[in-house]
Amino acid sequence: MTAPAYQLPPAGEPLLRVSHVSYSFGTGEARTQVLFDNDLEVMPGELVIMSGPSGSGKTTLLTLIGGLRGIQDGEVEIWDGLLGTYHKLRGLDEAGLVQTRRLIGFIFQRHNLFDSLRATQNVRIARELFPPTPDNETRIQDLLSYLGLSQRVGYKPQELSGGQRQRVAIARALINNPKLVLADEPTAALDANSGLAVITLLQHLARTRDPNELARLVGKPGGHSDSGQLTPEQAAALPNLARQKGTTSLIVTHDARTMNRADRIVHMERGKIVSNVVVAERLFVTEGLRHCAFFAAILPEQQQAIADGVSVGIHPDLPARCADPVRRAGRLETFKPGATILREGDPVTDDSKFYLIRRGRVRVDRATTDGDRAVAELGPKDFFGDRALVTNEPRSATVTAIEPVEVYTVGREIFQRYEATSRPFIERIRAVYGQS
């Protein structure tokens, strides 16, 4: 019998969806609510870091997602690509939960290795839950050796250091190519090389990466294995270890080195997800804003805050959707070909916006001082609509979508905020835009 083929979730749908999840410990007077109405969607192949102060509820949320605790309020749905359906965890019986947990690779602090088993056996026993493949044994050895344990495969847990045990637990979590990895501080006990190896493997399990990205992480042959770089052998082993792409990882960590490698950073405070930033989108918007004279003139941290507010929760590989409140805070608008985005002569109102093109091309058509018309085309990373918001004069051009267009928008209120707070600032800016 051949294994059923894995299907991805329907286009644009997440692999994991958390909706309105709240949670309390204890009962009666001792009842304490620790999670408050959380929403989160994680797309296939995303590497998401969850950060936040101690006690903010990260571990509790992770255990709910993993089906290790019963859901009290809200829902958690996990895509099962073999059944082609979502498992809804709320109210699921133990058999259903066991089935769901088999989709997940858990990397938690308490590793629960079997004390009587050697490193290889601890990994093999997880592999035995699934149908064997001809390369079972080589894969186990390759994974352990990639994680720097080739000299330790025959050791039992008590003969290993904390970091080595953690690496065996990681090998065990990843040996079955889970489509969802849930990890709680996976790199906390690890040296620099092992931490980097783990996060790089998760990145490569997620999707094909730019080879240059990997090349930058690799040290010289024979270099020190704890140099904070990968050895050439580790880099060479990656393609084979990460043949099956599409692994989604949700990682709780305080480790700044790990955070730099995330696709998205979700931040929790006091039981609530308070920010949800897609790193590539934030970078795109920040760079785009900095090319505009108005935003270039404000402080970098203010630019960053505006970029975060604009791009929050938007995923780089997918069209914009507004599924949860965190995403709704994102300001992405779409226009069909032929649609007018701005019209020459329209007055500035409270609804007026600045536009940064994310995808597609627009035509800009405006009257020139000599009575002619000037036409230009703009594309991704170009922007328009700032001048009228600074000068409060009517729109000076008509902007039309040539193709399907996605634009990030910044509302007029941001411009007014600076006008209200800093007179000299706005005068300087108006001078740049040709107004006294």
Candidate residues 19, 22, 33, 59; the one interacting with ligand ATP per rule CB under 6 A? 59
Number of H helices, E strands in the chain: 16, 18
Report, in Å, the least distance between residue 259 CB and ligand ATP: 14
**Distance between CA atoms of 433 and 388, rounded to whole angstroms?**
9
With binding defined as CB under 6 A, does residue 60 bind ligand ATP? Answer: yes
Burial per residue of 139-149, b for 16 or more beta-carbon CB atoms within 10 angstroms, e otherwise:
bbebbbbbbbb
Q: Specify the 3-state DSSP secondary structure of 350.
A: coil
Of 36 and 155, CB closest to ligand ATP: 36
Nearer to ligand ATP, 102 or 267 (CB): 267
Instruction: List C-alpha distances in Å: 398 to 218, 364, 376.
Output: 50, 6, 11
User: Within positions 8 to 37, which residues make up the interface with ligand ATP, using CB under 6 A?
Assistant: 25, 34
Identify the residue among 14, 45, 52, 385 touching ligand ATP (CB under 6 A). Answer: 52
If the CB atoms of residues 188 and 323 are measured against ligand ATP, the closer one turns out to be 188
- Give the interface segment with ligand ATP, choosing from 54-62, 67-75, 202-210, 421-429 (CB under 6 A): 54-62
- What three-state secondary structure class fits 131? coil
Residues 283-342 that bind ligand ATP (CB under 6 A): none
- Asked if 121 interacts with ligand ATP (CB under 6 A), we say no
- Interface segment toward ligand ATP; rule CB under 6 A; list 51-59, 132-140, 201-209, 332-340: 51-59
By CB under 6 A, is residue 58 in contact with ligand ATP? yes
Nearer residue to ligand ATP within complex by CB, 52 or 157: 52
User: CB-based contacts of 295: which residues, under 8 Å, 6+ apart?
Assistant: 289, 303, 306
Q: Are 383 and 355 in contact (CB under 8 A)?
A: yes
- d(C-alpha 310, C-alpha 146), whole Å: 40
> How many residues belong to the chain?
436
Q: In angstroms, what is the minimal distance from the CB of 32 to ligand ATP?
A: 6
**CB 166 to ligand ATP: min, Å:** 16
Least gap, CB of 34 to ligand ATP (angstroms): 4
Q: Nearer Cβ to ligand ATP, position 61 or 175?
A: 61
Residue 201: closest CA among 181, 227, 221: 181
If you ran DSSP here, which 8-state letter would residue 399 be given? E
56 binds ligand ATP (CB under 6 A): yes
282 lies in the site for ligand ATP, by CB under 6 A: no
Tokens linked to 429: 């800016």
CA dihedral 380, 213, 49, 207 (to 10 degrees): 80
Question: Of 55, 319, 325, 394, which one interacts with ligand ATP (CB under 6 A)?
Answer: 55
Closer CB to ligand ATP, 55 or 347, in the complex: 55
Tell me which residue of 198, 106, 113, 201 sits closest to 161, measured CA to CA: 113
CA–CA dist 189, 165 (Å, integer):
9
Interface ranges with ligand ATP (CB under 6 A): 25, 34, 52, 54-60
